[in-house]
Amino acid sequence: MIALTIAPVFYTAAIYLTLARIIRHYGAHNSLISPKTYTFIFLTADVVSLVLQSVGGGVANTAATKAGYWSGVRVMISGLAFQVFSMTIFVLICAIFFLNVRKDKARQKATNWAAGKVDPPSQHIKGYSSFVISKLLSVTTTPGC
C-alpha cells in the first residue's frame, strides 16, 4: 500500500515538468510565476509530500502499538492532504495561465489586424486541448486513489 500511495507524487511531478515546457512555449509573460521558480516550488512541495507519506507509512507499518500505528497514519494523511493542497494551487495557476494565453492570442490578432499585418503561422501545439483535458482528469482522479 506504500507504493500505491506514493506513486501519484511522481505523476504530479511529471505534470509539473510538462507545464513548465508549455509555459516556455507560449511565453513566460502569460504565467504568474516564471517557469523556473514554478518548477522549483512545486517539485519541492512534491518532495515534502513524498517524505511525509513514506515516513508516515513506514511508522504505521512498523509500529508495535495501536497508538503508534494511528500517529503514523495521521502523518501519512497529512502528506496526502499537502499533496492535494499543492495540486489545487497548481490548478489555479494553470487556469490563470491558460486564460492569459487565450487573451494574449486575441490581443495579438487584434494588433496585427489594426496594423494591417498578416497573422504569422500559428505556433499552437498539436494536442494542447487534449493535454488540458487529460491533465484535469488526472488531477481530479489521482488524489482519490
Partner 1 sequence: MSGAKVAGMFGVAANITYISECTPKLCDMEYATMNYIPNLYANEIYLALFAFFFVVQLIMVFPWRTWGYTFMILLGLALECIGYWGRIGMYFNIFLTTPFLM
Task: Enumerate binding residues for partner 1 (CB under 8 A).
Answer: 1-4, 6-11, 13-14, 17-18, 61
Gap between the Cα atoms of 68 and 62, Å rounded: 9
CB of 114 to partner 1, least distance (A): 39
- Decide whether 3 or 67 has the Cβ nearer to partner 1: 3
The H or E element spanning position 14 is helix 2-26
- Decide whether 11 or 113 has the Cβ nearer to partner 1: 11
- Other beta carbons less than 10 A from residue 51's beta carbon: 14
CB of 73 to partner 1, least distance (A): 13
Find out whether 55 and 75 touch, Cβ atoms under 8 Å.
Answer: yes
- Decide whether 117 or 126 has the Cβ nearer to partner 1: 126
DSSP string, 42-58: HHHHHHHHHHHHHHHHH
CB of 59 to partner 1, least distance (A): 12
Gap between the Cα atoms of 125 and 29, Å rounded: 18
- Decide whether 67 or 118 has the Cβ nearer to partner 1: 67
CB of 107 to partner 1, least distance (A): 31
Q: Give every CB contact of residue 43 below 8 A, 6+ residues apart in sequence.
A: 13, 16
